Amino acid sequence: MDISKSQSYISAENAPKGIEIKTSTRYGGFSNTPFDSLNMGYFTGDDITTVIKNYYYYQNITKTYNIITLNQIHGNTVLEVNKKKSAEIMFSKADGLFTNENNLPLGVITADCLPVMIAGNKCISSLHCGWRSLNAGIIDNAFKLFKKYDDIPVYAYIGAGICEKCYEVRDDLVQQLNTLYNPEQALIEKGTGQYLLNMKKLASNALIYNGLSIDNIEISKYSSCCSKGFYSYRLENGKTGRMVTTIQRAVR
């Protein structure tokens, strides 16, 4: 399924009332090839002034202001953030954000990895989930923060990312996958030592392992790799832009 060139973002369809989740597409911005055109990644090699212009454009059309993002490193660290220390947290080396404040959009940058957005009754979290972060327990760490604030996740959104048709991996990677998340359910053997990995299934298994019902997990129908309108690190050999996915509890 592809995105129309008139669409600069898509939204989660089943998020709880007051929770806003949006993902940018690659359409409508100012970046030139190979970042064309709505590149939201500051660390891609694109002209930084152009990326800033893309953010101004995107924030104005989505009414999602002061987006906080990180310098993601494929780890399992989830940082707590509030409005007072948002500038301090911006571009920190980590892969997850967590807050109990309203009107504070937490952002994840992706181009095949999964954005996983989690909402409780009081708190929210945004997670950058490649296989390494998932494997290292980034979802587990986010759930611990909800518990710290006496909150329980009630909904999760797994956004546009690489699909199982596009993500071929070797058995050396498969042997490293965290057995707590039942990786065998997310693998299709393609040939000797070759597998197709369903990252969305693996992420949903990690959420279920932490106590969230499958009925409360929304999974995007879009693939970053084979749905036109998104950036794909694998498809474009690493030289490409990034999408941003944000979650906020909006009180207007």
CA distances from 106 to 148, 159, 185 (A): 19, 14, 30
Question: How long a stretch of residues is the chain?
Answer: 252
Alpha-carbon span 220 to 64, nearest angstrom: 20
Q: Report yes or no on 148 lying in a domain.
A: yes
The count of other CB atoms within 10 Å of the CB of residue 187 is 19
Alpha-carbon span 116 to 98, nearest angstrom: 12
Residues ≥6 apart with Cβ < 8 Å to 84: none
**DSSP calls for 116-167:** EEEE-SS-EEEEEE-HHHHHTTHHHHHHHHHHHTT----EEEE-SB--TTT-
Alpha-carbon span 138 to 160, nearest angstrom: 18
CB 217 within 8 A of CB 205: no
Q: Is the pLDDT of residue 191 over 90?
A: no
- Rounded to the nearest integer, the mean pLDDT of the chain is 97
Relative to beta strand 187-191, strand 217-219 is unpaired
Q: Report yes or no on 150 lying in a domain.
A: yes
Q: Report yes or no on 188 lying in a domain.
A: no
Model confidence at 207, pLDDT cuts 50, 70, 90, reads very high
Tokens of 204: 């949903």
Q: Report yes or no on 194 lying in a domain.
A: no
User: In this prediction, what percent of the chain has a pLDDT beyond 90?
Assistant: 97
- This prediction has a pTM of 0.97
Q: Report yes or no on 187 lying in a domain.
A: no
Angle between helices 138-148 and 199-209 (to 10 degrees): 30
Q: Report yes or no on 40 lying in a domain.
A: yes
The count of other CB atoms within 10 Å of the CB of residue 100 is 18
b/e map of 192-201 (b: 16 or more CB within 10 Å)? eeebbbbbbb
Domain with residue 33: its CATH number is: 3.60.140.10
Mean pLDDT in residue range 53-79: 98
CB 234 within 8 A of CB 162: yes
Q: Report yes or no on 184 lying in a domain.
A: no
Name the residue with tokens 């699909």.
163
Model confidence at 40, pLDDT cuts 50, 70, 90, reads very high
Domain total for the chain? 1
What DSSP state is assigned to residue 71? Answer: B
Alpha-carbon span 86 to 145, nearest angstrom: 18
Phi, psi of 11 (to 5 degrees): -130, 150
User: In this prediction, what percent of the chain has a pLDDT beyond 70?
Assistant: 100
Mean pLDDT in residue range 189-199: 92
Q: Report yes or no on 168 lying in a domain.
A: no
Structural domain of 97:
9-162+199-249
pLDDT at 252: 78
